[in-house]
Amino acid sequence: MNGDLLGTLAAASAAAFALAWLSAVAGFGGGVLLLPVFTALFGLRAAVPMLTLTQLASNGARVWFNRRDLNWPLVGWFALGAVPCAVAGGLLLAHAPLGPLKRLLGGFLIAVVLWRRINPHPRRPADRTFAGVGAASGLGSALLGSVGPLTAPFFLAYGLTRAAYIGTEAASALVMHTSKIAAYGAGNLLTRTVLLYGAALTPATLLGAWAGKKVVGRISDRLFVTLVEAGLVAAGVLFLLGF
């Protein structure tokens, strides 16, 4: 293995650890921040499926670490919308215009935080609402790599916090990412390079998820929600800037 390849793998592993740690603490956000790094290293068309492979490991670990607090009915409703839309988005990835979609999503995320500040006690969404949330998330995630911030306001409004929020969101995302991988395979996007790097980055991802789990149990619900909202704003700005 030459020096350039080792350097790329080291940079990607460090970023994958940060992804898993941040996701384990805030419940989302690592994928949004990791996508620009992977895009710079591998190019956008390879970065999106590669990011999905690392998210499989990250979300799987978060599900296991928070398995006692999962809300399985919400996961089921989310999957009902996410699976077909994730498959459709995965098949469209090779041809979709990603720039305008990213900027639209960025504006939406920042607007969500402003809305939460203006209306700090929104009505709790019904369980079936998460089928629509899953549909939008599945399509957007398949095209953009990660739209975890899109789902955060709905899980928070439902009343989930800390372990229940992190585990339920991770289980929902795990179903969605598995569907995306199947679609990427059908679209010939799972190249040898994507698969090799996805496997090589798994240890760093699992270690980051474990380290993040050690932190999340020590913070208050109020600080947790503040961290999530900060992540929403950061993700929105990145999308508006075109990352």
Chain centre distance of CA 149: 7
Most confident range, picked from 120-129, 156-165, 166-175, 202-211: 166-175
Average pLDDT, the chain: 80
Phi-psi region of 97 (alpha: psi -120 to 50; beta: other; left: phi over 0): beta
What pLDDT is stored for residue 224 in this prediction?
67
pLDDT higher than 80, residue 30: no
Phi-psi region of 145 (alpha: psi -120 to 50; beta: other; left: phi over 0): left
Percent of the chain exceeding pLDDT 70 equals 82
For 180-217, how does the pLDDT look when each residue is reduced to its tens digit (9 = 90+)? 888 888 877 888 888 888 788 878 877 877 787 777 66
What pLDDT is stored for residue 79 in this prediction?
95
Question: pTM of the full predicted structure?
Answer: 0.71
90 Cβ contact list (under 8 Å, min separation 6): 142, 179, 180, 181, 182, 183, 184, 186, 187, 189
Between residues 220 and 164, the one the model is more confident about: 164
Task: Give CA–CA dist 135/137, Å, rounded.
Answer: 5
What pLDDT is stored for residue 132 in this prediction?
93
Task: Give CA–CA dist 80/62, Å, rounded.
Answer: 21
What pLDDT is stored for residue 221 in this prediction?
64
pLDDT higher than 70, residue 33: no
For 46-100, how does the pLDDT look when each residue is reduced to its tens digit (9 = 90+)? 777 888 888 887 788 889 888 899 999 999 999 999 999 999 888 887 676 767 7
